[in-house]
Amino acid sequence: MNGKQQIGWGLIGASTIAREFMVDAIRAQAGHEVVAVMSSSAERARQFAAENRIAAAFDSLEALLADPAVQVVYVSTTNELHRAQVLAAARAGKHVLCEKPLALSVSDALDMVRACDAAGVVLATNHHLRNAATHRKLRELVRAGAIGRPLFARVFHAVYLPPHLQGWRLDKPAAGGGVILDITVHDIDTLRFILDAEPVEAVGMSQAAAMAKQGLEDGAMSVVRFDNGVLAQLHDAFTVRHAGTGIEIHGESGSLIGRDVMTQRPIGEIVLRREGGEERIALQHEGLYERGVASFGVAIGGGGEPAATGRDGVRSLAAAIAVAEACRSGSAVRIPDLPL
């Protein structure tokens, strides 16, 4: 793609995440513009377009994909719709940035990766936490041996689902609701990134304490074993107002403590604790979504991989599905070695 040309984005889904973060993140890139939006409701599409100064509004996927101004798409509909929309975008030759979880099953997510490969388009997953200065620094420090061999990780991601998001996540199993597909999947992706390791087995328990209905969970605690031996403890919830978020990586010779790091915003801090004392690590915060879109822009220009690839999306989903299955069954669940 010619760097001087405008890269036109089509939004598939008039969603909250698009409105609150992604439209701005796309426009923050030189040469990128949001040129179209598609909703299942013509009225919602028109309203979203007007509020966000987007030229074209569609109520059909085919119409958006046929718009010659659209070269890439961002898919942020509810989760059950991602697969068919990504397959259609790939058929139309559009690069795709798709929201997590990529799909509701591993086989659907694999179909998405294969379709994009076959069409020669880039598929990226919007696992934004990889782009945080905090998590990038944690990865760098672990790789540099700052804590010796990593043994354990703990993720604190029990938060309060804000009222304007208290919809399908809580009462629509068919849309991929529940805290595990919403939040645990992010924890797993972040740990895969920091540890450079793959999850192999999961156990867990979940609860429906206050908000979730229809068999969905609004809280979960799980333990995931990685192929480098690390045991990771994950605490995720929609129901907890005051816990704060964090991540800890504990190694043979030191511990990395991250606070306020499981978030959409460029905030948080990291402390390295080892013999001789405690050191606060310097960080240069940057917008997480902006950085993710920037890496996607480089990837569609042939310059490398996006921050989280389609394959990352599949692997992180497979582990989240294993956690969900472990919570349902009460048994340990193996995470399959995927044909990727």
CB 75 within 8 A of CB 14: no
| Shortest spacing between CB 273 and ligand NDP, in angstroms | 29
Q: Is 44 in the site for ligand NDP (CB under 6 A)?
A: yes
Residue window 182-221: x/- pattern of binding to ligand NDP, with contact defined by CB under 6 A: x---------------------------------------
Q: Is 79 in the site for ligand NDP (CB under 6 A)?
A: yes
| Shortest spacing between CB 117 and ligand NDP, in angstroms | 22
Q: Is 29 in the site for ligand NDP (CB under 6 A)?
A: no
Q: Structure tokens of 22?
A: 């992604």
26-29: which pairs have CB atoms within 8 A and are 24 or more residues apart? 26/74, 26/293, 28/287, 28/290, 28/293, 29/290, 29/293, 29/294, 29/297
Q: Among residues 264, 283, 301, 305, which is the contact residue for ligand NDP, using CB under 6 A?
A: 264
Cα–Cα distance for residue pair 139/145, rounded to 1 Å: 10
DSSP 99: P
CB atoms within 10 A of CB 108: 20
**Contacts for 142 with CB less than 8 Å, ≥ 6 apart:** 150, 194, 195, 196, 249, 251, 256
**Which residues in 94-123 contact ligand NDP (CB under 6 A)?**
99-100
| Shortest spacing between CB 155 and ligand NDP, in angstroms | 15
CB atoms within 10 A of CB 223: 17
> 């109520």: which residue's tokens?
59
**Total binding residues toward ligand NDP, as defined by CB under 6 A:** 22
| Shortest spacing between CB 210 and ligand NDP, in angstroms | 19
User: Nearer to ligand NDP by C-beta: 207 or 263?
Assistant: 263
Q: Is 52 in the site for ligand NDP (CB under 6 A)?
A: no
Q: Among residues 16, 29, 52, 233, which is the contact residue for ligand NDP, using CB under 6 A?
A: 16
Report CA dihedral (85, 87, 91, 94) to the nearest 10 degrees.
60
Q: Among residues 29, 47, 52, 78, which is the contact residue for ligand NDP, using CB under 6 A?
A: 78
Q: Is 41 in the site for ligand NDP (CB under 6 A)?
A: yes
* Interface segment toward ligand NDP; rule CB under 6 A; list 61-69, 77-85, 293-301, 307-315: 77-85
Q: Is 77 in the site for ligand NDP (CB under 6 A)?
A: yes
DSSP 311: H
Q: Is 47 in the site for ligand NDP (CB under 6 A)?
A: no
CB 207 within 8 A of CB 181: no
DSSP string spanning 213-252? Answer: -TT--SEEEEEEEETTS-EEEEEEESB-SS---EEEEEES
Q: Is 167 in the site for ligand NDP (CB under 6 A)?
A: yes
User: Nearer to ligand NDP by C-beta: 125 or 255?
Assistant: 125
CB 173 within 8 A of CB 113: no
Which residues bind to ligand NDP, rule: CB under 6 A? Answer: 13-17, 39-41, 44, 76-79, 99-100, 126, 128, 165, 167-168, 182, 264
